[in-house]
Every structure is written in C-alpha cells, then in structure tokens.
Amino acid sequence: MSVQSQSSLLHKYKGVLFSTMSSEALLDSLDSFDAREDDIFLVSYPKSGTHWVAEVIENIPNAGITLTSPIEWGDFSKFEELKVVPKRRVIPTHLNYEMIPVTVKQKQCKIVYIVRNPKDTAVSLFHYYRDNPNLPSTETWAEFLELFLKGDVVYGSWFDHVLSWEKHKNDKNILFLFYEEMKKDFVKSLKKITAFLDISVNDSEMDKIAQNTTFSEMKTNAVKENCDPNHTICALTSDKKLVFRKGVVGDWINYFTPKQRRVFDEVFTEKMQQSDVGRCLKEYTNAEGK
C-alpha cells in the first residue's frame, strides 16, 4: 500500500485511523451532538454485521423508527441533518466507546453492540479494503493481516474497540449481540432485540422479518438500492453492493496459514485474556472452519 494512497483516503484522529469521509471538524464536534432519550445506536467494529441488524430493525412493522446515516459520516452539517429527523432515530456508527457523544451516555440511549469473530472480521475487512475505492488497497492478505493485528486499519484495533465496549456490556442500556449467535438462532436474537427496544412483534411478523433479512435477500436488495445516499449505513461507502460479500461463519479458515493462525491466536490470547467476550468467541476463533 503506498503511503500516498493511505494519506489521501485515511487520516488519524486521536490515534485512530478514519476515512476522510469523516471530517476532522465533525469528529471534533461529536460532543456537541444533541441525543434524544429514545435514540437507538447501532455500534460495531467495521464488517461485524451492522447492516444485517439495521435491516432487521428496519423490517420490524410499525416500529416508528428512521434509520439515519452514520453519525461520523460527513461534516459538521450532519447534526443539523439529524435534528430534523422526526421519528425515533436509529443511528449507526463504528466509533469506540470513548468517542461516543457525551449526551448519548448522559441520556442512556439504547445501544446495540454487534461483535464478530475477529478472524472472519479481518478477512471481510481485507476484501473491503480491496473493493472499496474509499479505502487504500492492500496487495496481499499477509500484508493486510499484519496491519490488522497492529490496529493500523480504519477504526483502529479490533481488540481495543471491543474492549472499550465490553467494559459497559452490563449497562442496562447496552445490548451485546454476537454475529455467530444470530446466525445460529436468528429468532432468539430477534426476540432479544425487540425486547430490548420495547417493540412487540408476533410470530408471523418474526417469520417475515427472518425471510426479508436472509443474506441472499439483503444482497439482492442492495443491488436494487445501490447508491441511495439516504440509505447509507456504513461510514465507509454509500455503495451497498460493496457491503455484502459472503456473510458466512468460519471463512477465515480459507485464508489463514498455520503460522498466521498461531500469531493471531497469540495476540488474541494476550489482549483478550481477561475478557468474557474473548471467551465467548474462542469457539469460533479456534473452530476448524465450522
């Protein structure tokens, strides 16, 4: 990756790499954002399932919500844009806990945090770097993995991001969701989401939501909607075709060499040794591509 391509597409803010589509002025002003008590924030590290959960919430009938573009997408005018949204706002973001606007914490807005096995996340982010013109392309998987483990990628270290949120996972206004558990038992996860958001959904509505938010259905719809700027969920692109790649659990096994796996596992063990989330993910980071 050339230094020039990295510097024209990414910039460092408070030690973390951001896309230049998140202006420094906007990042500087996050604490001036006026949260509403009924706001819902959808938070994750990139490529962890935010689009999926957003589609699920959008498919809940009569929920009275409006999905907005990410809070860190754009410039200072973003807050004026969010101010005029009339309904209950669902606001996506990839920010770590420290950078979340202070009024969101003060008003204890509901926050859904989605976490995914970091090996699958790394593979997915590698493809995103290659396919997304808003990110600097890396030549090889080995080169990208090194950057990922150092936290020298957009939104910084996966480990730091997850740990910043894990400190608050027992706060009553925060719901932790595991991507892999959603794949395994979607209805159970959907019930968790609707109960957390105080929205009632009957069984036939649940079935319909499940049908509308299968990976193939979302991928088909993404091609139809494509670049609708009003339907941007990721702060790294408005092109929805770039967002959905495979959506499977365990694809990492097709990329990691035994040595890469060993190095990754050492870093994972070191960083996540005190982490309950790390213990929950162990099954997926060790699984033989299951």
| Opening angle at CA 187, ends 62 and 96, nearest 5 | 80
Q: Which residue has the tokens 């099954």?
A: 283
Q: The tokens of 111 are what? A: 């926050």
Catalytically annotated residue among 11, 51, 94, 168: 94
Q: Are 67 and 53 within 8 A, CB to CB?
A: no
Backbone angles phi, psi at 73, to 5 degrees: -95, 115
- Which positions ≥6 away from 32 have C-beta within 8 Å? 79, 101
Instruction: Decide if 51 is catalytic.
Output: no
CA distance 60 to 207: 11
Q: Are 92 and 52 within 8 A, CB to CB?
A: no
Q: Are 205 and 48 within 8 A, CB to CB?
A: no
Residue 139's H or E segment, with its range, is: none
Catalytic residues: 94
